[in-house]
Structure 1
Amino acid sequence: MQAWQVHELGEPSEVMRQTEVATPTPGDGQVLLKVRAANINFPDVLMVRGHYQVRPPLPFTPGVEICGETEDGRRVIANPALPYGGFAEYALADAAALLPAPDSLDDAEAAALHIGYQTGWFGLHRRARLEAGETLLVHAAAGGVGTAAVQLGKAAGATVIGVVGGAEKAVVAREAGCDVVVDRTREDVVAAVKEATGGRGADVIYDPVGGDAYTQSTKVVAFEGRIVVVGFASGTIPSPGLNHALVKNYTILGLHWGLYNTKNPKLVLHCHEQLTELAARGAVRPLVSERVPLGEAAAAVQRVADGVTTGRVTVLPSLDNGAAV
């Protein structure tokens, strides 16, 4: 089968190599899945660079989120069992963790209704306890993680403010459902958010960026507000001033979604059921901005690494064979 492999760590466009490899053999409790769609996530970038908390042995195939097909023809969502990731024609996954792909979504959309949306659901509902009528601020609101949080916030009845970097991304954020969009390249984020909220600030802030975005969050968080720390796409991990949290009376919440798979997997299934219902009634729909063939996976991963994409970029092995999407 064809697969992308990483034999040394570095930038995706430099170290990912497409090659012919043997189809992997499932181990105990695993299943072989034909990859129908594999979404590119920022953890894929970090893993290829060697900066992620999970470090699979070299060589490995990246791709942590797929829609796949079982040998008996079921369409499922899975997190592949590394080192046999999703940027390949076949991947391995734990049988017990498979989730049914929603009928209301195509393969690329179904694959995207997993890590980003599960992270958003746990962050907004399980951790921050977002309520209808509150104001939600989403950093990087045009990205895959950001658009998921925007849609989930709107579905929960919140007013959503999205922060983006550029005019094109502002359009995407508005289409995703943002009530207010702040272009950080042209506006003062703190001033704009305060103006939009009448000086009160945001009740919940969803931050997958870190760095300057986190600093801005501390300046616009409302009384008894909650800042949900999701990741550090900026590359800078902030050092929170706990005295500031005390004085302003806000909460800093960490979210590592992957822990729920081992600590409380029933909640992951419950979340998937909630997301499937939201997708069925059209309240959420993953934004897939690009669909690329397997042969273009490395270049696509690099674009995600460079921060120039919006929504989700999805690798479709079927495109290499001329099959219809």
Structure 2
Amino acid sequence: MKAWRVHETGEPREAMRLEEVPDPVPGPGEVLVRVRAANVNFPDALLCRGQYQIRPEPPFTPGVELCGEIRALGAGVTGLEPGARVIAPAALPGGAFAELAVVKASTVLPAPDALDDAEAAALHIGYQTGWFGLHRRAALRGGETLLVHAAAGGVGSAAVQLGKAAGATVIAVVGGAEKAAAAAKLGCDIVVDRRTEDFVAVVKEATGGRGADVVYDPVGGEAYTRSTKCVAFEGRIVVVGFTSGTIPTPGLNHALVKNYSILGLHWGLYNAHDPAAIRHCHDELTRLAAEGTVKPLVSERLPLAAAADAVQRVADGTTTGRLVVVPD
């Protein structure tokens, strides 16, 4: 089969190589799937750079989530059938940027019928992260104000849709006119182009000086630092990632004086500590997808040969919505 592999870490466009490799074989508790679509995530770039919290030994295949069709079951796997259309996180070092992949049977979920392959591939990690961040960690309530950074990106757009589904007023922060237009189409109540506007001032004006009840931050750096200036009394800042490349150092005295919470979210830990919650979240997301309330913003569907370039573009922050690799 064809698979992208990283032999030496570096920038995705240089580090990833498309190669012919033997077909993988599922072991006990594993499932072999034909990859129908593989969503491109920022962690894929971090994997290529050797900067992700999980660091598989080279050579490895990036691609952290997929939609696929079950081809074969490993020993001891029950409750799944060949031919079923499913979604799952990849089981590194054998990631999703390949024609075939092996995943853990315990992580396999049915692909929502309301979504096509590319949309289903983009539903899992980003939307699960958003749901856990907004509901389990921040306890977002209807009528509250939600501030979303990088709102036109894959992670941010998921949070926007989930925030609107929860009845929140959503203020989106984006970079550039094209991304502002995309955020507006998602249904954001207010869109702020950080290149030309001060989101702190906009949030304060929109909330009568109260501030945002929940801040959803996958960016870090200056986005986080400035968010502390417009978070509400008893507000919650959900730290999702650091696409800016800068990990902020919170001023805990500031959190004390302003009485807000800083909440970390590592979604992957729920697979180990509360897998039932993962399934419950998937059921909720499937329901919302069937209602048309959530629908991944897939901006491009690309062939397998374009995977390295797609990962690089996501790393560079030049994309809107999701790029999804659809193998031939």
User: TM-score, with normalisation over the residues of structure 2?
Assistant: 0.96
Aligned length: 318
Question: Does residue 171 of structure 2 align to residue 171 of structure 1?
Answer: no
Q: 1:157, CA displacement in angstroms?
A: 0.2
Match of 1:252 in 2: 262
The C-alpha deviation readout for 1:257-299, integer Å capped at 9, x for no partner, is: 0000000000000000000000000110000001000001101
The residue that corresponds to 1:323 in the other structure is none
Corresponding residue for residue 30 of structure 1:
30
1:209 to 200, 219, 223: 219
Where structure 2 has 5 or more consecutive residues not aligned to the other structure, the ranges are 72-81
Q: Give the letter for the 2:103 counterpart.
A: A
Superposition pairs of residues 6-155 of structure 1, within 5 angstroms: 6-71=6-71, 72-155=82-165
Which residues in structure 2 correspond to 1:151-300 (within 5 Å)? 151-300=161-310
1:89, 1:196 → 2: CA distance?
Answer: 48
Cα offset, 1:57, TM superposition: 1.1
C-alpha displacement of 1:199: 1.2
Q: Could you list the per-position Cα deviations for residues 65-123 of structure 1 after superposition, in whole angstroms to 9, with x for gaps in the alignment?
A: 10010021100001111111100000110012100000000000011110000000000
Shift in Å, 1:25: 1.3
In structure 2, C-alpha distance between the alignment counterparts of 1:55 and 1:33, rounded to whole Å: 23
Task: For 2:210 and 2:106, locate their aligned partners in 1 and report how far apart those are by CA, in whole Å.
Answer: 45
Amino acid at match of 1:308: T
How far apart are the structure 1 equivalents of 2:316 and 2:253? Answer: 35
Code of the residue aligned with 2:123 in structure 1: it is: L
* 1:202-239 Cα shifts (integer Å, max 9, x gaps): 00000000000001110000010000000000000000
In structure 1, distance between residues paired with 2:252 and 2:260: 10
User: TM-score, normalising length from structure 1?
Assistant: 0.97
Gaps of 5+ in 1: 319-325
Identity within the alignment, %: 74
Aligned to 1:321: none
| CA–CA separation in structure 2 for the residues paired with 1:314 and 1:243 | 42
1:317 aligned partner:
327
Bigger drift between 23-32 and 257-266 goes to 23-32
Q: Could you give the per-residue CA deviations for residues 143-168 of structure 1, whole angstroms, max 9, x where no partner exists?
A: 00000000000000000000000000
In the alignment, residue 253 of structure 1 is paired with which amino acid?
Answer: L
Aligned to 1:70, what secondary structure does the other structure show?
A: strand
Q: Distance in 2 between matches of 1:292 and 1:224?
A: 43
After the TM superposition, which segments of 4 or more aligned residues of structure 1 sit over 3 Å from their partners? none
